[in-house]
Every structure is written in structure tokens, then in C-alpha cells.
Structure 1
Amino acid sequence: MADTIPPSVPRLVDKLRSNSRPALIWYGQDGERVELSGRVLDNWVAKTANLWVDELDLAAGDVVALGDDLHWRSLAAVLGTWRMGAAVRAVDPLDGGAEAGDRAVVGLVDAQGAPPPLLDRVPPGARAVLLDRPALSLGYRGDLPGGDVLDYCAEVRAHADVYAGLEEPAPDGAALAGTEGVLEHGRLLPAAGELGAERESSWGRASAVHVPGRRMDTELLLRVLAVLAGGRAVVVTDRPADPADAAWRSVLAAENATAF
């Protein structure tokens, strides 16, 4: 697998564009199911990249602090950030994780619909961005936090479905900062390919792979990339997904999915 994956996230996104099959399947705690084909996921990635550039003035090399809650919109935000060459630093949304020098701070509303405390602690020079949680939200229905907060769901739809910015991020530029250190753009897909190569033989004929975890740490994000690069759909969820649970096994069976 490591020899066949695209060389970069932008090229992986280009590959998704021609795929009408499911690429991302999301299960939320309230029973939501969202299915995005490769083409639709590519659209969200491009729209996010364009939003970052057009509205936030982000550029390659900038850092986006992103609450590490797992949600399909959070994954679109990560991929869109990499598409336009910036770096992601996933942080605890309850923590003061944003740092001086961050250019954007992105937070997902909590299960009760309230903005995360992360957006109350935006460093000077950064812009706050709110991701709404309901799967089909067209905009946050509550009162936006004080300050200059961008409503992702309300704004992203107006942006182009194709990103026409830089062709490739600098291979040695920071892409993902985590507790394990910093991973460069040029290492994202090779590292994902190494993870996928260890497990792909056990996936058999499954058309989808469930990536466990409820926080977007480095390993989860690399596993997501490995599944997408391998041409299968990735199944993610923000609810407990116990392999011993009969209901969850039926979900995986319905999706023709296996575990990572």
C-alpha cells in the first residue's frame, strides 16, 4: 500500500474527486448517519480550503488550532487545512490549547449546543471559527460567542467547490502537531501508508473500515488517511463503538465494514 498511495494530501483529494462511492460515513451519538462520497468529501475539503484563504487570510505554513472532538465536519476542516498547506494542531476543547501565533481557532459546539470554552481563549491575531454539530446544520442557531467569530456552517457553502491555490505544500512544512511531535506534509501519507500496510491484509473484501477513537489525535488522523488512500470508506463515530455490542456489529455488517 505504501508504494501506491498518492504523494500528498492534495493529490489524495484529487483522487477522491473522481470517486462516486462512499468515502466517509459518520455516526453521531444522537443516531445521525451521514454518508459522503469521494466527490462530496472533495467538495467540502475545497470549500474549507477556500474559506480559510478567502475569509481568514490563511496561508501555507500557518497553524490552525482545532478542538479534537471527532465529527465529520472536524475531519473536513483538517483535510481542508492540509489542502491549502497549513498545519493542524488538535487540542482539548476544554483546555486553553490555543497558543500565540495560531492564526485560527476552530471549535465544535458541545452535545448541548453550546460553543466550547476553546473559543473564549483566542490569542491575539487569530480568528475564532464555530462548527455546528447537527449533521445538516445550515448555521449555528444559538448566539455566537462574543468577538469576531466565523460561523463555519453558514459561510462555507458560499465558497467554490474547487480549490485553485498552491499545487503542493512544502514537504518539510509542518502539517500535524501532536504530543508525539510534529509531522511534516511530506510524511503524512507515507506514515499513513505504513499504518495501513500493517492492517490491510486483514480487511479482506470489506468496502469500509471503522477507525476507532473519539478524539482526533495523530494516530486516528493517520488511520483515516490510510483508509481513504486505500480506496475504502472510513467509518467514524463520536459515540462508543464496542465491537462486542450486537447493535454495533449490525452497523458494521450493514456498511460492509471491518475494524482497523
Structure 2
Amino acid sequence: MADNIARVFADASAADPTRPLLTWYDDATGERTELSGATLGNWVAKTANLLVDEAGCAPGDPVGVLLPPHWQTAAVLLGCWSAKLTVVDAPAPVDVLFAAVDRLDEAAEWPAGERYALALDPFALPMRQVPAGFADFVSAVRGHGDHFTPYPGGGEADAALLARAASRAAGLGPGDRVLVDVAAHPDPVDWLLAPLTVGASIVACANLDHSRLAARSATEKVTRTLS
């Protein structure tokens, strides 16, 4: 296994960048978003470029992520890890803070430099009204380049995160298509990193309607389920 998360992500999509790598469902809204390795890679690269070029982050800098499981959260996290930044999820001084719009009260407790709000719109549309003190992540990230060369080696937490992911990936293998109930497995080590470490693709489901599970598994050609 690669020794850094950026390499793990690159390896997971290398065999066929056009195949679905992350498919996102929200049964409360009816949302379904499918991203190939290449498309997710573009979002990851744009996020990393935003962090380095716009926010001025350097390897090791702390970044706060107050986001639920979501395909945009995957892009944010993988972008942070590509830039070798340290992701923190408890209130602390950070250089950049990413926050869902329904967690802005919580975000107020964080001392932060740049602040980006995410509405987590199904189609990644810009926000009509941007919260005071924040920039709209979608609007900001779209202007950045589709390619980013990750720094050599891993970030400070990569080894520990990948070790945890490898242990959670027991029973999964290359080519698996893993359906994950993100309410039961909200840790990104489970719903994001564990499948990627073994070259599996992900069907991440929020507000999972278990009555749809069998049909969805058939439609998405699911081979493993974490629910």
C-alpha cells in the first residue's frame, strides 16, 4: 500500500479514470451524484490549488473540516491531504475552515483565517446568499486549476489514517464496489479511505432507505455492504 493518501487516491483511479469511483445518494432528497476517478480528481486538484494558491497554506498547516459525509466532503478532505495539510475536527486555531451551512454556529467557535461555507447542493450550484464572514466554496474553487502535483511523502497524519483504513478494509479488495451507510459509518476513514486503500469504488448513502437496499445494490453492482 502507498505511504500517503494522495498516492492511495491516485492508485485507486489509475486503472480506469473513467469508471465510477464515488457515487453519492441521499434518500431524503433523492440526490444521486456519480463521479469518475477523473472527475473527483479534478475537484480534489481544484481544492488543493485553492488551499495553496488562494489561502496560502503550507505543508503541516491545520485545516478545520466541519462537514458531514458527502461527495464534496471527499473532495475537500482529499484536497487537504494532497497538500499535506493537517485536518482537525475539534475547535482549534486553523488556517482554513470548511463548514456546512447548517454548522455555522459551531464554526463561530473556531479561530480561523480563511473560511469557506458549503451548501452541499446536489449539483454544486453556487449559494445565492453567502453567510457573512465566509466565501462560497463552490464559487471559489471553480476558478482553480484541474491539476495539482501532490507534495512528496505524506502529511503528518497520513500513516496513522492509512493504518486505520487498512484495518477497516479487511475483506475488501480491488474491484469491489462498496455500499456504505454513512449514518452508521460517518468517519471518513470508513466511508472514504478504507475502500480507496484497496482500490475499491464507493456507493455512499445518506439517510439510507433500507427498503431500497436490494434494488440499489443490484443497480450499482455492489459487491460489499457496510450498513
Band the TM-score falls in, shorter-chain normalisation: 0.7 to 0.9
Q: Does 1:152 align with 2:137?
A: yes
Instruction: Answer whether contact 1:109 1:131 (CA < 8 A) is retained.
Output: yes
Distance 2:118 2:220 in 1: 27
Q: Which of 14, 20, 24 in structure 1 is aligned with 2:18?
A: 20
- Which residue of structure 2 lines up, in the alignment, with residue 116 of structure 1? 104
Instruction: Answer whether contact 1:63 1:104 (CA < 8 A) is retained.
Output: yes
- Which residue of structure 2 lines up, in the alignment, with residue 200 of structure 1? 172
Q: Does 1:248 align with 2:210?
A: no
**Please, what TM-score do these two structures have when normalized by structure 1?**
0.76
Distance 1:224 1:159 in 2: 24
- Which residue of structure 1 lines up, in the alignment, with residue 146 of structure 2? 161
Q: Does 1:107 align with 2:99?
A: yes
Instruction: Answer whether contact 2:3 2:158 (CA < 8 A) is retained.
Output: no
Instruction: Answer whether contact 2:68 2:186 (CA < 8 A) is retained.
Output: no
Distance 1:217 1:151 in 2: 24
Partner amino acid, structure 2, of 1:118: E
CA deviation profile, 1:51-76 (whole Å, cap 9, x unmatched): 11111111211111111411110111
Output aligned runs, 1:27-46, within 5 Å: 27-28=25-26, 29-46=28-45
Unaligned runs of 5+ residues in structure 2 are: none
Q: Which of 157, 160, 175 in structure 2 is aligned with 1:187?
A: 160
Partner amino acid, structure 2, of 1:55: E
- Which residue of structure 2 lines up, in the alignment, with residue 239 of structure 1? 207
Q: Does 1:136 align with 2:136?
A: no
Identity %: 28
- Which residue of structure 2 lines up, in the alignment, with residue 63 of structure 1? 62
Distance 1:8 1:57 in 2: 22
Instruction: Answer whether contact 1:120 1:145 (CA < 8 A) is retained.
Output: no
SS in 1 for 2:153: coil
CA RMSD of aligned residues (A): 2.3
Distance 2:160 2:33 in 1: 29
Unaligned runs of 5+ residues in structure 1 are: 91-96, 174-183
CA deviation profile, 1:174-219 (whole Å, cap 9, x unmatched): xxxxxxxxxx2123223312221x2227xxx97410122238754x
Q: Does 1:227 align with 2:199?
A: no
Q: Which of 3, 18, 28 in structure 2 is aligned with 1:7?
A: 3
- Which residue of structure 2 lines up, in the alignment, with residue 211 of structure 1? 180
Distance 1:167 1:216 in 2: 30
Number of equivalences = 222
SS in 1 for 2:202: strand
